[in-house]
C-alpha cells in the first residue's frame, strides 16, 4: 500500500491509498474554496449522562446531487470534485461539513472506489483489503490526536438510511469522548467478569453462539459471523475475529487476509435476502473498537455490526415510540429465522 497525503484548496487533508507503489498523486485542487468554518459544539445531557454534538453548519451540506455532479467522483475537465485526481483506489479526506470539529474531534470521508455506480459488495478482495488498510491507518493516526477518545469507522448505505451521496463511501468519526454504546458494553463486560470470576464477556458471547450454532451465518478460520441472540434489527450480523483484539491495529496478517472474503460474502447475502427485483438492501456497517485510553482496553473485542432497517420486501423497520422514546427495541424477525435466511442465500 502507498499512502500520499496532500491538501485541498481550503486546507483540508486528503489522503490517497493506492495498491501500487509507483502511483504519483500530484493533482492540485483548483477550486476557489473559502476556508472551512464550523460551529460544532459538544453538549452534555445531565439526565442521560451522554453527549450531543450540535453542528448547525451542516444544514448547508450537499444533498442528493445528480450523478454527474457527485463530489466524491474523480475530477474531470470542467468539473472539479473533492478528489482532484482523475482516478483513485481509496481516498480519505476531512469532511467539509463535519459533525465534530475544532477541538471537538474530527470527521473524515472514506471513498471506497472511484466507480460511482459500485457498492462495497462489488469490490474485489484486493480492493476491500485496501479499504481495511485505510481504516487501520486512520485509526492509528486519529487515535494519536490529543482530544480523541474513540475512533469509529462506519458505512451508511441507501437513501432509506438517510444517505445523501450515492457514491460508495463511509465515514470515520474521531470522538472527543467515549460513546454511550461503548460505555454500556464496557459496563456489561465489567459486571460479567465480576460475576464469573474474571471471564471475558465478548469471548463468552462468541463461544455461546458457536456452541448453539442456530444463529451462525458464516465461519472462517479467523472470523465468525452470526446473528446475535437479542438482535435489535430485522437482519443483523456481528462479525468477530476468533482471536480477541481491541482494535483494527491489533489484527494479525491472517485475520486481515481472510476478512475481505467473509465480509464481502455477508454483504452480498444482504443484497439477496429480500429476493430478486428488490433494490439494494440499505444497511449500516459499524466497527466497534476499544476507546483509545480505556483502562484494560485489551479486554474489549473489536467487532463489526451490520444491520438493515428493511424487515421485508417493500417495508422498513421504523424506530417508533418504544424504540425512540424508551430505547426498547421490538424485533419483527426472530434472530434464528434471520440467520437461516442468510444461510439460504449463500453464494454458489
Question: Are 296 and 273 contacting, i.e. CB atoms less than 8 angstroms apart?
Answer: no
| Residue 40, helix vs strand vs coil | strand
Q: Count H helices, E strands: the chain?
A: 6, 15
CA dihedral over 125, 131, 134, 138, signed as positive or negative = negative
Query: Measured over all CA atoms, what is the biggest interatomic distance in the chain, rounded to whole angstroms?
Result: 66
Catalytic residue among 169, 222, 238, 288: 169
Query: How far apart (Å, rounded) are the C-alpha atoms in residues 191 and 193?
Result: 5
Question: Are 266 and 306 contacting, i.e. CB atoms less than 8 angstroms apart?
Answer: yes
Which residue's C-alpha cell is 466507480? 115
Grid coordinates in use for 241?
A: 475475529
Report the pLDDT value the prediction gives residue 225, as an integer from 0 to 100.
98
Report the pLDDT value the prediction gives residue 328, as an integer from 0 to 100.
94
Query: How far apart (Å, rounded) are the C-alpha atoms in residues 180 and 158?
Result: 25
The full set of domain ranges for the chain reads: 2-175, 180-344
Grid coordinates in use for 277?
A: 427485483
303 is catalytic: no
Domain 180-344 has CATH 1.10.8.50: no
Domains 2-175 and 180-344 equal at CATH topology level: yes
pTM: 0.94
The architecture of the domain spanning 2-175 is 2-Layer Sandwich (3.30)
Question: Are 99 and 40 contacting, i.e. CB atoms less than 8 angstroms apart?
Answer: yes
Q: Where are the beta strands (DSSP E) in 56-178?
A: 90-94, 106-111, 150-157, 169-175
List the chain pLDDT tens, one digit each, 348 residues.
999 999 999 999 999 999 999 999 999 999 999 887 777 888 999 999 998 888 876 665 665 577 678 999 999 988 999 999 999 999 999 999 898 887 789 999 999 999 999 999 999 999 999 999 999 999 999 999 999 999 999 999 999 998 989 999 999 999 999 999 999 999 999 999 999 999 999 999 999 999 999 999 999 999 999 999 999 999 999 999 999 999 999 999 999 999 999 999 999 999 999 998 889 999 999 999 999 998 889 999 999 999 999 999 999 999 999 999 999 999 999 999 999 999 999 997
Grid coordinates in use for 39?
A: 460551529
Amino acid at each position: 500500500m502507498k499512502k500520499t497525503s496532500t491538501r485541498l484548496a481550503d486546507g483540508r487533508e486528503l489522503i490517497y491509498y493506492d495498491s501500487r507503489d509507483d502511483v504519483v498523486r500530484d493533482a492540485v485542487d483548483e477550486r476557489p474554496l473559502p476556508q472551512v468554518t464550523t460551529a460544532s459544539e459538544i453538549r452534555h445531557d445531565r439526565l442521560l449522562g451522554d453527549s450531543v454534538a450540535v453542528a448547525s453548519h451542516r444544514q448547508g451540506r450537499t444533498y442528493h446531487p445528480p450523478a454527474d455532479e457527485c463530489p466524491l467522483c474523480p475530477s474531470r475537465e470542467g468539473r472539479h470534485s473533492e478528489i482532484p485526481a482523475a482516478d483513485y483506489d481509496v481516498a480519505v479526506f476531512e469532511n467539509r461539513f463535519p459533525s465534530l470539529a475544532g477541538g471537538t474531534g474530527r470527521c473524515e470521508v472514506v471513498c471506497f472506489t472511484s466507480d460511482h455506480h459500485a457498492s462495497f459488495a462489488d469490490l474485489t478482495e484486493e480492493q476491500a483489503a485496501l479499504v481495511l488498510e485505510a481504516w487501520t491507518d486512520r485509526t492509528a493516526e486519529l487515535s494519536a490526536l490529543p482530544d480523541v477518545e474513540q475512533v469509529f469507522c462506519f458505512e451508511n448505505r441507501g437513501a432509506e438510511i438517510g444517505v445523501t451521496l450515492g457514491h460508495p463511501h463511509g465515514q470515520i468519526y474521531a470522538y472527543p469522548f467515549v460513546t454511550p454504546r461503548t460505555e454500556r458494553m464496557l459496563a456489561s463486560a465489567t459486571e460479567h467478569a465480576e460475576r464469573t470470576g474474571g471471564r471475558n464477556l465478548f469471548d463468552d458471547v462468541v463461544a455461546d453462539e458457536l456452541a448453539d450454532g442456530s444463529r451462525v451465518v458464516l465461519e472462517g478460520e479467523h472470523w465468525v459471523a452470526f446473528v446475535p441472540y437479542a438482535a435489535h434489527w430485522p437482519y443483523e450480523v456481528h462479525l468477530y475475529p476468533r482471536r480477541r483484539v481491541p482494535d483494527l491495529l491489533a489484527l494479525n496478517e491472517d485475520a486481515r487476509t481472510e476478512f475481505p472474503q467473509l465480509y464481502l460474502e455477508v454483504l452480498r447475502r444482504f443484497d439477496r435476502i429480500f429476493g430478486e427485483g428488490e433494490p439494494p438492501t440499505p444497511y449500516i456497517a459499524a466497527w466497534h473498537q476499544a476507546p483509545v485510553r480505556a483502562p484494560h482496553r485489551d479486554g474489549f473485542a473489536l467487532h463489526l455490526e451490520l444491520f438493515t432497517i428493511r424487515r421485508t420486501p417493500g417495508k422498513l423497520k421504523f424506530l417508533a415510540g418504544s424504540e425512540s422514546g424508551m430505547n426498547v427495541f421490538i424485533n419483527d424477525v426472530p434472530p434464528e429465522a434471520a440467520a437461516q435466511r442468510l444461510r439460504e442465500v449463500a453464494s454458489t
